[in-house]
Structure 1
Amino acid sequence: MAIKNKQLVVMHYELKVNGAQIETNFDGSPIEFSYGTGEIIPGLEEAIQDMNEGETKEVKIPAEKAYGKHDPSLTETLPISDFEGIDLEIGLVLEADDDNGDLIKATVTEVTKDEVTVDYNHPFADCDLDFKVFIKRIV
């Protein structure tokens, strides 16, 4: 029986970007999510909609249905004095709470003697994602 909205899906997956494995849970615990509620990226949810318990599938999720295109407006250059006590380097992911108390992440993309440029785009923005999924259980 294929997955339906609001059903609990128990799934193993492997994620590759540009042929490199980024993460997998095939050797560990599966993820659990309520299908159709936006808990996973839209393209993956769409790709598994007709799958059944016990089924394995490989799918390519285009960037537009994953983490979107890179948005240049989501970068910001700040004075280096805002980062006092932090060992800054390109690629460092910084975490902070926004005004609502929600966690935000930014990646350092440039460091000069006076300024730091950070990028708030998801690290996989502009990336097509290759998934191998196994539907372990549908409840």
Structure 2
Amino acid sequence: MTIQNDKVALIEYTLTNAEGETLDASSGNPLAYLHGHGNLIPGLEAELLGKKVGDKFTTIVPAALAYGERVDELVQTVSTQMFQGVDNLEVGMRFEAQSEQGMHSVEITAIEGDQVTVDGNHALAGMALTFEVEVVGLRDASDEEISHGHAHGAGGHHH
């Protein structure tokens, strides 16, 4: 059996940046995902297609196939008045913001006086990401998993 659409794969992985710093790892808790349903970044999902249990590989996923390129327009400076009801604003805080494109997450990146800089880019946007991956499990997805669009159970989504 190989990884293909509507299969649940379990992977062990380590994610590093260009400097070799570990950004995330499964650390003995395999990630279960439903292939072909957009549960992974596109570049990693494409690399997993056709792999089987026991396969190990390293791949570098370019920013465009990971979390996208940084978009300068998603960095804005706004007044602290935009954060009514929040007593202590701090760099690193995340908020949900309403825009013309709907709700999206922003992070405070700077505070100067009554001006707050927020960034709506994903924290890993603009970065090429290196994944070391081992496929440790593979099975057919259940009808329920396919209809929900994600894996259930250990390493997957729990309802």
TM superposition score category, shorter chain reference? 0.7 to 0.9
Give the Å deviation of 1:28: 2.6
What TM-score, normalized to structure 2?
Answer: 0.77
CA distance in 2, matches of 1:116, 1:48: 41
* Contact residue 12 and residue 134 of structure 1 kept, 8 A: yes
SS in 2 for 1:106: strand
SS in 2 for 1:50: coil
* Contact residue 96 and residue 104 of structure 2 kept, 8 A: yes
CA distance in 1, matches of 2:15, 2:40: 13
CA distance in 1, matches of 2:55, 2:7: 16
User: Deviation above 2 Å: which 4+ runs of structure 1?
Assistant: 81-84, 95-99, 102-105
Question: What is the 5 A alignment of 1:1-139?
Answer: 1-18=1-18, 19-25=20-26, 27-83=27-83, 84-89=86-91, 92-96=92-96, 98=98, 104-139=104-139
Deviations 1:56-104 (A, max 9, x none): 1110000000001001111222111333412323xx13133758xx974
Aligned CA RMSD, in angstroms, stands at 1.9
SS in 2 for 1:60: strand
CA distance in 2, matches of 1:11, 1:87: 38
CA distance in 2, matches of 1:50, 1:93: 40
Unpaired segments ≥5 residues, structure 2: 140-159
* Contact residue 56 and residue 135 of structure 2 kept, 8 A: yes
Aligned residues: 134
Amino acid at match of 1:135: V
* Contact residue 95 and residue 103 of structure 1 kept, 8 A: no
Deviations 1:15-52 (A, max 9, x none): 00121011111x33111111011000000001111211
